[in-house]
Structure 1
Amino acid sequence: MNENKNRKNTLNRREFTRRSTLLAGATLLGSNASALHASGSDTLKVAVIGCGGRGTGAARQALKADPGVEVVALADAFEDRAAKCAKVLRRVGGKRATVPEERIFTGFTAFREATDLADVVILATPPGFRPEHFEYAVSRGRHIFMEKPVATDAFGVRRVLAAARKAHEQKLNVVVGLQRHYQPSYLEALERYRSGAIGDIVAGQVYWNSSGVWVRPREAGQTEMAYQMRNWYYFNWLCGDHILEQHIHNIDVANWFLGELPASAQGMGGREVRKGADHGEIFDHHFVEFTYPSGAVISSQCRHQTGCVEMVEERFQATGGSLFTSGGNDAVLKNRAGDTLYKHGGLFDPSPYQIEHDQLFASMRAGGHIDNADYGAHATLTAIMGRMATYTGKRISWDKALNASQRLVPDSGDLHWNSAPPTVPDDAGNYRVPVPGKTRI
C-alpha cells in the first residue's frame, strides 16, 4: 500500500471519536437520569482512587478530555503515593487539580470518602480491590473509569457482573481500561474483518512476552502487609499474575474479534528465572490454549524473562486470510495468497488512553451510556481461567472458572497495616508457589 493510502487511513482524534463511538460500545441516548448536571453546574468532579502511575496518568487524561473536569479528591493506601499524585496533578492541572489536604484520604477504606465527593471515579488501585470499589461507586450512582483487570478471582468477577447490572439499570457510564477497544487500528481492522474480508477466524496466537516489571526491596521495619502492598504485582490476591494483569489485553482482543467466550482452557507455566522471596508467588511464563464454542483455538503466550524475544501482538488465521494487530498502531489483513488487503497507516493516531477518557466525558455531557463492564469482566475471567489451567495443569471449563469458590481478597474493612495478608512467607522468607498437577482451585 502506498504512502498516500496509508495517510488516508490515519484518523485525527475528533474524527476517530465520531466514527468509533458505536464500535467502542458507546450509545448516545439523548438524555437520561444520569445526565450531568441537575445542579446546572458545568463542573465534573473527579475522584482518583489509587494514586500510582496509572491513577495519576488517568487523572491527567481526564483533565485533558473536558475543560470542566476538576479533580476534587484523592485516595490511596499510602500517604506518600497520594502526596506525589497531588503534586503532579497540581502542576499539570493548576486550579482544576489542586486538591486540599482535607480531601486527600489514605488507608484501606479511603475510597469511600473520596467516592462520596465525586461525580466520576477513577479506579486504579491494585486490581484485587476493584470489585469492592466498583460496587461502592455504583451504589453511590457514580460514573466510572476502572482499570483492567476488574478482579483477581472468580468471586470478584461475580461481584463486578452483579454491580454492572445495577450500573446498567442506572445508565451509569462505565469505561474499562482495555484501551484497544478505543484504538483506531484495532477498530479499523475489526470493521474490515466483520465485513467478511477474510472469512471467519479459526485460530490465533496472542502474545505478551517481555522482560518483566519492577521489584521493590523489603524495607527495615516494614510489616508484611505493607511489603505486599508495595510489591503488589507479585501476589495473586492483589495482582492475579501477569497473565491477568498484563496479558489480559491480548486475551481480550481474541474474545472481542471472535465475538465469543472460550469454552475451555488448558496449558502450562512455571518459574524459571523469577525465583526467591523477592518475587512472591507468581509465575514468569504461561502458555494456554483457549478453545471456543465455534471450534476456534487461540494460543496464548506471556513471559517475563530477560534476554528473550519480546512481542506484544495478536495474529489470527481465518478461512479466507489472516489478520495481525499490535498495540503499536499496526493492523494488517491479508488474503490466502498473502496479498495485503488492508494496512493501517496510523503512525500519528491519537492515543487510545486519551480517547477512552474523551468518550467517557463526552457521553456524560450528552446524557449517553457507555457500558464496558461486562466485556471487562469477561476478559478478566478468561485470563483467570488461563491462570487456573497453568497452575493446576488441568483443563478448566468456563463454567468451572466462573463458579469457582476460591476467594483471594478480604474486604477492605478487615485489613490494616499489621494484619496478616492472605498469603504469608515461610520461615525462610519464601512464598508458596503453585505446582501444576498438585495445586487445586
Structure 2
Amino acid sequence: MTKNSELLNSNPSRRKFVKNSAVVVGGILASQLPVGASAYVKGDDTIKVALIGCGGRGTGATGQALTADPSVQLVAMADAFRDRLDDSYDNLIKKFPDGNRIKVSEKTKFTGFDAYKKAIDKADVVILTTPPGFRPIHFEYAVNAGKHVFMEKPVATDAGGVRKVLEMAKVAKQKNLNVVVGLQRRYQNNYLETYKKIQEGAIGDIVSGQVYWNSAGVWVRPREAGQTEMEYQMRNWYYFNWLCGDHILEQHIHNIDVANWFIGSYPVSAQGFGGREVRTGIDHGEIFDHHAIEFTYAGGQVVASQCRHQPGCDSRVREQFQTTTGRIEIQGGGNKAKLTDWDGNTVYNHRGLEDPNPYQVEHDRLFASIKNGDTPINNVEYGAYTTMTAILGRNASYSGQVVNWDEALASTKSIMPERYAWDANPPSMPDADGRYPIPVPGVTKVI
C-alpha cells in the first residue's frame, strides 16, 4: 500500500471520530507521559516556550500560555520581520512586566525564513502562529525535535501540506507529544454541551445544516516602496493562497469544523461557487470575496456553507442544523446554544455568560497535560481533516466542479514557492498593471 493510499484510507469512521472527540468532551486525561518524551519532563521548574510568528494571534496565544501556569516562561521569539517581533515583545512586556515570565534576550530573538529552527531549539513548547502556509514545515521541525505544540488553524494551505501534517501527527503520537490546534470551539462550553446532547440522542440525528462566516472582511496592507514581491505578499499575506488559503480556509474553517464534529465524519464531495464582486483591488491579491458551498457526507447529510468578505452586508457567524426530531442553533460569540423540537419545545438552552474563554482553556489544558504527565492531547487529525474540508470547498468554488474528497486529498498540485528567500518569486506574480491571476470557475484546474 502506498503512503497516499494509507492516508486516503485513514479518513476516520464515525465510531473512531466520536471516540476521539469524547476525549475532549469528557476531559479524559489519564496515564503517564514517559520521562524523556520531550525537553520538558515532569518535575522541572519551568516550561520554556518559543513563539513562532509574532502577529496579533501569536502575541495573544503567548499571553494565554503565560497565563495558563506560573511555571511557563517565554524564552525565544521568531518572525520573518523584526518590526513584528519587536511589537509583539513590547506588548508582552507590558502585560507581564515583572521580568519573571519573559526571558527573551537579543540573542533569542530570531528573524528570517529559518528563524523558526533557532527558536524551536530553545524551547520545550512551541507556539506556531505564522501564516498557515508555513505550518507544515514548522510543525515537522518541532515534532522531529520532540517539542510540544500549540498551532493555529488551518494547518496547511494545500493537500500536500495536509498530508505532511498527518504524517507528523503519527510521529507526535509515537513521541507522546501534546499538540493542540486552535479550533477553539472544541474547547468551548456551549459547543461541548451541544455535542454531548447530540451523542445522548436528545435531538435525534443531524440530516442537514448551514454554517456561516459572513463579515466585512479583514485588514489590507498596501504595497510600500522598495518591497520585493516576496516581502509584499508576506506583509499582505491574507490575500495570497500559498500563505492564507483564502478566507474559506483561514476563517470559515471554524464553522466547517463544527459541522464535521457534530456529524461525526468528513465530506465525500463538495460543489458550489464563489467570486470577487466587492474586494477587487490590486491589494486584494488573488482570493475570492465570497464562497457558497454544499458539502455532502457519506451518511447523506448536506451542509450549506457560506463565507463572505463584503462590507455593508448581513453579518452572520454561526451554525445551525436540522435533525430527525428538531433543530440546533449555536454560535461562538455570546456562548449561546439552543435545541428545540419540531413543535417548538426547548430541549436545551445554553446561555453561558460566565463560561471560560475557550482561547484560554486551550492553553490551560495543554500546559496542565504537559506539567502533570497526563495522556497527551493530540488534536492534529481533526485539525488536518477539517483543513482539508475547507480546501475541498475552495477547490469546488474555484473550479465550478464537483470535487471528490479522495481525489482532492491525493492531489500533488502544490501552491507553495520553490524556495523561501526575499528575492524569490512567489507562486502568483502580478502582471504589468499589478493585478494577479484570479481563479475562473469552469477554467481553473485545482487538482
* TM-score of the pair, normalised by structure 2: 0.92
Q: Aligned match of 1:231 in 232, 236, 239?
A: 236
> What RMSD, in angstroms, separates the aligned Cα atoms of the two structures?
1.4
- After TM superposition, list the pairs within 5 Å mapping 1:362-441 onto structure 2: 362-368=368-374, 369-410=376-417, 414-441=419-446
Residues in 2 aligned to 1:179 and 1:75: alpha-carbon distance in whole angstroms: 24
Q: Deviations over 1:173-198 (max 9, x none)?
A: 00000000000000011101110011
Residue matched to 2:364: 358
What secondary structure does 1:46 align onto?
A: strand
| CA distance 1:22–1:275, change in 2 (3 Å) | closer
Residues in 1 aligned to 2:266 and 2:119: alpha-carbon distance in whole angstroms: 35
| CA distance 1:25–1:399, change in 2 (3 Å) | farther
What secondary structure does 1:105 align onto?
A: strand
- After TM superposition, list the pairs within 5 Å mapping 1:6-45 onto structure 2: 22-23=24-25, 27-33=29-35, 34=37, 37-38=40-41, 40-45=43-48
Q: Amino acid of the residue matched to residue 188 of structure 2?
A: Q
| CA distance 1:240–1:377, change in 2 (3 Å) | same
Residues in 2 aligned to 1:283 and 1:209: alpha-carbon distance in whole angstroms: 13
What secondary structure does 1:87 align onto?
A: helix
What stretches of structure 1 of length at least 5 have no aligned partner?
1-19
- Confirm or deny: 8 A CA contact 1:157 1:380 kept in the other structure: yes
1:35: how far off?
A: 7.2
Residues in 1 aligned to 2:208 and 2:119: alpha-carbon distance in whole angstroms: 45
| CA distance 1:68–1:21, change in 2 (3 Å) | farther
1:22: how far off?
A: 3.7
With a CA cutoff of 8 Å and minimum separation of 6, indicate the structure with the bigger relative contact order.
1
Residues in 2 aligned to 1:26 and 1:282: alpha-carbon distance in whole angstroms: 40
| CA distance 1:27–1:38, change in 2 (3 Å) | closer
Residue matched to 1:62: 65
1:141: how far off?
A: 0.3
Q: Aligned match of 2:355 in 349, 353, 373?
A: 349
Residue matched to 2:86: 83
* TM-score of the pair, normalised by structure 1: 0.93
Q: Deviations over 1:9-52 (max 9, x none)?
A: xxxxxxxxxxx964277633234243774484220000000000
Aligned length: 420
- After TM superposition, list the pairs within 5 Å mapping 1:57-206 onto structure 2: 57-94=60-97, 95=99, 96-206=101-211
- Confirm or deny: 8 A CA contact 1:28 1:363 kept in the other structure: no
What stretches of structure 2 of length at least 5 have no aligned partner?
1-21
Mapped pair 1:52 → 2:55: yes
- Confirm or deny: 8 A CA contact 1:325 1:331 kept in the other structure: yes
Q: Deviations over 1:243-262 (max 9, x none)?
A: 00000000000000000110
| CA distance 1:24–1:275, change in 2 (3 Å) | farther
- Confirm or deny: 8 A CA contact 1:21 1:359 kept in the other structure: no
1:129: how far off?
A: 0.1
Residue matched to 1:333: 339
1:276: how far off?
A: 2.5
| CA distance 1:434–1:318, change in 2 (3 Å) | same
Residues in 2 aligned to 1:306 and 1:50: alpha-carbon distance in whole angstroms: 28
Residues in 2 aligned to 1:281 and 1:25: alpha-carbon distance in whole angstroms: 41
Residues in 1 aligned to 2:423 and 2:27: alpha-carbon distance in whole angstroms: 43
1:418: how far off?
A: 1.5
What secondary structure does 2:287 align onto?
A: coil
Q: Amino acid of the residue matched to residue 306 of structure 1?
A: P
Choose 352-361 or 97-106, whichever is displaced more.
97-106
Residues in 2 aligned to 1:226 and 1:272: alpha-carbon distance in whole angstroms: 27
- Confirm or deny: 8 A CA contact 2:38 2:146 kept in the other structure: no
- Confirm or deny: 8 A CA contact 1:25 1:370 kept in the other structure: no
- Confirm or deny: 8 A CA contact 1:131 1:156 kept in the other structure: yes
Residues in 1 aligned to 2:246 and 2:27: alpha-carbon distance in whole angstroms: 28
Residues in 2 aligned to 1:231 and 1:98: alpha-carbon distance in whole angstroms: 30
Residues in 2 aligned to 1:31 and 1:352: alpha-carbon distance in whole angstroms: 25
Q: Amino acid of the residue matched to residue 391 of structure 2?
A: I
